Amino acid sequence: VTTRTAHALPARATARRSLAWRRGAAGMLYAAPTAVIVVVFFLVPLVLVFWMSANRWRILGSPTFNFPDNYTKIPDNQLFLDSVTFTLKYTAITTILLSGIALALALSVQNARPGVGLFRTAYFLPGVVGFAAASLLFYAFYTQSGPLDELLINLGITDEPVNWLGTPNAALFSTIGMVIWRFAGFNMLILLTGLQSIPLDVYEAARSDGATRWQTFRYITLPLLRPTIALMLVLSITGSLLAFDQFFIMTRGGPDGTTVSMVMVIFREGFTRFDLGSAAAISVLLLIVLVLLNVVQLRVLGRNR
């Protein structure tokens, strides 16, 4: 009897181990396509961008090592320096306006009432229009003498068509208007998921304690919504820092290069000046800033949980 168990045990263990091995191999096989895409189209380019930034790398011709030239010339790139200031300004204004409007929209449609679905859909609908299409649509909306001008003239606010993209500030705020139109519903939807995860009995308790509407919002909704608001802010800040389509298409960086974003400078270095090394160096800089921002943000989010 003893010999038999002594034999049977390792055999069963081997069988179990071979089954586990086979399951492991199957898992690797299923994960293989993900791994190939992530390695070839993400990790390899990620390493390559650092290597490119250490080289004189033109679109044609073979690269030569020139570290740290691509980095040391960044402070002399006035266009880039201006784009940093401009992008930060754009990010600050957009994030504040967008979050405020999204929060107001979310609060106004958070409760189930007849017709509320239609409002939600209407607010969100611009979000499915492509950003490039939205930029073109608003380009026409602003520059073709159109409904906005007629309205303002009829109201007696101006007596001639406004040049919506004509001055630096007009171009900036016209763009922000388009971005709010396109993304307010998107951010509203994010906030709604947070609002709807707040248990109803918390509100009931507040009401039975005689809390006013403002007190309920200030001391219950807002604190419980903080993680969701934080997520919305990360998305809005990251998205705005990487702004490209809206300025490339709608203002074309104008007037006089006053609305050139950081990513537009990267594009210009790489594909107008054909200097991929320089584009890579600025990209690496942007990457580091954004990863730091994400880490800080994740810390803050983590603390709240």
Query: Considering only residues 154-183, where is the footprint of other proteins by CB under 8 A?
Result: 181
To other proteins, the closest distance from the beta carbon of 3 in angstroms equals 31
Binding to other proteins by residue 237, rule CB under 8 A?
no
Q: Round to whole Å and give the CA distance between 153 and 2.
A: 101
- Binding test (CB under 8 A) with other proteins, winner from 1, 42, 302, 305: 42
Outline where 43-125 has alpha helix (H). 44-53, 69-72, 78-108, 116-124
Torsion of CA 40, 45, 48, 54, to 10 degrees: 180
Give the max Cα distance, the chain. 106
Give 66's contacts (C-beta < 8 A, 6+ positions apart).
Answer: 54, 55, 56, 277
- 3-class secondary-structure state, position 56: strand
Q: Within 268-297, which residues bind other proteins (CB under 8 A)?
A: 270-271, 276, 279-280, 283-284, 286-287, 290-291, 294
Pick 124 or 172: Cβ nearer other proteins? 124
Pick 115 or 156: Cβ nearer other proteins? 115
Q: Site mask, other proteins, residues 107-136, x = CB under 8 A? A: -xx---x-xx-xx-xxx-xx-xxxxxx--x
Binding to other proteins by residue 43, rule CB under 8 A?
yes
Structure tokens at 83: 């784009």
Cβ pair 46, 283 in contact under 8 A: no
Structure tokens at 61: 């011709």
Pick 31 or 202: Cβ nearer other proteins? 31
Q: Within 54-93, which residues bind other proteins (CB under 8 A)?
A: none
- Binding test (CB under 8 A) with other proteins, winner from 198, 220, 235, 301: 235
Pick 11 or 128: Cβ nearer other proteins? 128
SS3 content of the chain, % helix, strand, coil (to 5): 80, 0, 20
Pick 2 or 142: Cβ nearer other proteins? 142
Pick 4 or 213: Cβ nearer other proteins? 213
Q: Within 252-271, which residues bind other proteins (CB under 8 A)?
A: 263, 266-267, 270-271
To other proteins, the closest distance from the beta carbon of 131 in angstroms equals 7
What is the radius of gyration, based on Cα positions, of the chain? 27
